[in-house]
A and B are shown apart, each in its own frame.
Chain A
Amino acid sequence: MLTLIEEERVDEDNRIVAAVSNYDGPMTLFKRLPRLRWKASGAQEIIPPDVQTRCPELGADFKLLAEELVPHFRELDANALQIQNDFRLEQVLLIFGGALATILGALHASLGAVWIGITESVLAAALSAVAMRAKTTRVQEGYFTDRLKAEKLRTEYFLFLGRVGTYAEDAERLRQLVRRVAEIKGGGEAK
């Protein structure tokens, strides 16, 4: 199925100047299906290294941030993506497993084959286990927490670069950064 995306482009006064359609590949609906085995992609960058080299005045700050903040950001970002994948996998299993169990139930009722009934029972038991696990592990909550922490670290990154607020004083800014990173990572401010 083709997907046409219509978008209106507006100028500074919010007047529509063009309506564009972009082809976004087949079946956007299934674009974000989870992976059975999670494989982390490359290390996430807040500012790509080639952009950093174009800003020599900020070089010292980039170096400090790379040592004190970026490793924690990458860890939280990777965790959030992995937990998000786990959550989606659970949901997809419950949706498609539930549909399959219903189909098996209908076949069992109409054909009366014993093996279909047994398969349906096993599937229903497995789905109950998945649902129970989803309820106890609170995967979605874990994803939200780590994503929020990662995005708060991204905010601190730019506040530090801009010497905003507590980062305005040269003597104190590094100490403040270390304190804030520990605070955010520890969950004091993330929830």
Chain B
Amino acid sequence: MAESQDVSLALRIARGDSEAENDFFLCFGEQIKMMVQARLPRKVPPEDREDLVSELQEAVLLSLRKGRFDPSREKPLGAYIAGIAGNIVGQYFRRKRKEKMGETGLRFEDSPAAGNIFADLIDAEREAALRKSLSRLKPRYKEVLLLRIYEQQSIEEIAEKLGLERRRVSERIHYAIQLLLKECTKANFLQY
């Protein structure tokens, strides 16, 4: 079976091919960022987010250089990197907890850019389309998105507030996001 692109690049990195390192981050840099983003709550400051992305990139690179990823024995590369991402984010929160206990103060600044390291990647036209789609959603979908994403309420809290079953709240949130994705697909913002 032919090697997939990610495995092929990983093996080249292990052999000391620096060009492969560049290619690897060109191809998978965004996915690696996404793995950090998905694990961090909204209030983590943007500079910490960026530091964690760099930390993960460095850790992945070191690990691949040392040949620690073995495609014949290990899980797929995506899952391998997700594991490293989980460890790095876990270490970050442990560090923060220690700082807090040492009274150095854990202060999550809720700055306007918080939770938004990808903001610069939003194409203006696509953002305009997203804004339009968001404003056009039916009130019941807007409501759950607001409560879950903006106010960071749990599914249980929302279910109680709206008098709905937990499952119904999840479905409603999923459906709202599906509608948005569908609109953007229709508008041809997805090119692959």
A and B are interacting partners: no
